[in-house]
Amino acid sequence: MNESKAVKILKGLIRAYKVFIAVFAVIVVAAVVIGTRGLSGQENHTYVLPAGYTGWVAVIYNQKGYPELPKEGDTIVNRIPINGVLKTSSAPTSGGMTFFYADDQGQRTEVGMGMIQGQHMGTDTIPHPDGTKEEKTINAFYVGTEQQYYAHLQEQP
């Protein structure tokens, strides 16, 4: 192989490498932009529980006649009543979750994730006698230690 052919091949490889790097950079930037947009579309949720509460919590969404969930800044606030069931006209959204106990003066103490058990979200269809159907989307979780959670499950028929 003569020297000019080798130089041409080397220049071609360098050109291909530059194209590869440019395409790779575009893909990385696109992935970051898409990933950031996906994350920013999620809502943060704060659950405010009565001080010392243990037991099941259920948030029932899309309930006509009930208030929308309030916001504190960019965080949706779920103020759980003493019976553990919160009904709201708000639609469910995905996102991060933090949990707090609140005393009578509204002072909040964070509840560790080790105290949140069995969290699940689902939709139930409830048939009515008139032939209509109602869909209920429910976010449910148990507040208590793992031992309390499993003891509660064993008590259920």
| % residues pLDDT > 90 (the chain) | 55
Q: What confidence category does residue 154 fall into, taking pLDDT thresholds of 50, 70 and 90?
A: confident
Identify the top-confidence range among 12-26, 99-113, 122-136. 99-113
- Considering the chain, what percentage of its residues have pLDDT values greater than 70? 76
pLDDT greater than 70 at residue 32: no
**What is the pLDDT, as a whole number, of residue 153?**
86
pLDDT value, residue 46:
97
Average pLDDT over residues 33-41: 51
pLDDT category, 4, cuts 50, 70, 90? confident
Q: What digits encode the pLDDT tens for the residues 43-95?
A: 899 999 999 999 999 999 999 999 999 999 999 999 999 999 999 999 999 89
Q: What does each C-alpha distance from 94 to 34, 109, 139 come to in angstroms?
A: 17, 23, 11
Judged by DSSP in three states, 126 sits in: strand
Choose between 6 and 102: higher pLDDT: 102
List C-alpha distances in Å: 156 to 37, 102, 149, 151.
Answer: 43, 29, 11, 9
More confident residue, 33 or 124: 124
Q: Quote the pLDDT of residue 36.
A: 47
User: DSSP letters of 26-77?
Assistant: HHHHHHHHHHHHHHHTSPEEEEEEETT--EEEEEEES-TTSPPPPEETTEEE
